[in-house]
Structure 1
């Protein structure tokens, strides 16, 4: 993943060697960290971020509808933060939607699944927003984050999330 290079302006997603330790770190409950997404041949084609790893500085994600702070980790009353990253040469190939579908299925199978999932994408990242919307997440907040970019926070109840199969024509649109 540290060798992946995205075209501008999405080169903000590029990682460096200093990011490796953070990619390997996991919380004790397994809800914070990064999971690889492999294709049918076992090649790394993406990643799924969970918990704190899926959040963006400046995100209002810790405030619930009642104003009380929400946890990001497991438990029936909790909201799990999720994020997706796709290898640059696999953008618009359905990797993000397939990874999100697999994640939703795995979360539903947990003994105590989270009540909802939450994700963030840059407002200018039409491809990421489309994948999240097809899964059933809806926009809940906009905020300014790193680089003065505008981000959209989306959320959906786990039991209401659906299929995320690609509905586009596969052409790149300049996102992630």
Structure 2
């Protein structure tokens, strides 16, 4: 598994991914936000196959959370057919290694839906510690903020 630039073709593919309930909140409807450099998206490949993505920056933030410059926000996802197969830790580790090399942040921060037990297990077992919980101002859904110091 490795990181690559997110091409328009990869973005178009990701915009077609549909997750089963209760993960359908992660469905994307368009490719344009993925290609905006401000959102910091990269592709995750297994060989030549697109299997996921990572983001670095404000795209990882949820409206209603308290965010500052003490950590770099990161988010990501796997192709729906690849979820639930134990790939999350490796995908996160590959993404964090890329983020560490490219941005050298003092810490990484992730915001995870409070009911997404799979993602919370992955980030918790990867050294992230819960620092906050809040309700999104847009949907009212509960989110957990976790941080992993890098220095």
What's 2:86 paired with? 94
- Uncovered stretches (5+) of structure 2, i.e. residues with no partner: 1-13
What's 1:113 paired with? 104
1:132 Cα deviation (Å)?
0.5
Q: 1:140 aligns with which of 115, 131, 149?
A: 131
Residue 53 of structure 1 aligns to a residue whose secondary structure is helix
The 5 A counterparts of 1:65-104 are 70-71=68-69, 78-104=70-96
Taking the aligned partners of 2:140 and 2:99, their CA distance within structure 1 comes to 33
TM-score if structure 2 supplies the norm length?
A: 0.83
Taking the aligned partners of 1:6 and 1:103, their CA distance within structure 2 comes to 21
**Is the contact between residue 84 and residue 96 of structure 1 (CA under 8 Å) also seen in structure 2?**
no
1:38 Cα deviation (Å)?
0.9
**Is the contact between residue 42 and residue 53 of structure 2 (CA under 8 Å) also seen in structure 1?**
yes
Q: CA RMSD in A?
A: 1.6
Structure (1 or 2) with the larger CA radius of gyration: 1
Residue 48 of structure 1 pairs with residue 61 of structure 2:
no
Aligned length: 137
**Is the contact between residue 56 and residue 99 of structure 2 (CA under 8 Å) also seen in structure 1?**
no
Taking the aligned partners of 1:116 and 1:103, their CA distance within structure 2 comes to 14
**Is the contact between residue 82 and residue 119 of structure 1 (CA under 8 Å) also seen in structure 2?**
yes
Taking the aligned partners of 2:54 and 2:99, their CA distance within structure 1 comes to 13
Q: 2:65 aligns with which of 53, 56, 59?
A: 59
Taking the aligned partners of 2:141 and 2:131, their CA distance within structure 1 comes to 17
Residue 23 of structure 1 pairs with residue 34 of structure 2:
yes
**Is the contact between residue 55 and residue 81 of structure 1 (CA under 8 Å) also seen in structure 2?**
yes
1:133 Cα deviation (Å)?
0.5
Residue 3 of structure 1 pairs with residue 16 of structure 2:
yes
Taking the aligned partners of 2:140 and 2:126, their CA distance within structure 1 comes to 27
Q: Deviations over 1:47-105 (max 9, x none)?
A: 101101111111112xxxxxxxx32xxxxxx4100012111111122332112111222
After superposing on structure 2, the runs of 4+ consecutive aligned residues of structure 1 that deviate more than 6 Å are none
Q: Deviations over 1:98-146 (max 9, x none)?
A: 1211122233434x61000000111100000011001100111000014
1:148 Cα deviation (Å)?
1.4
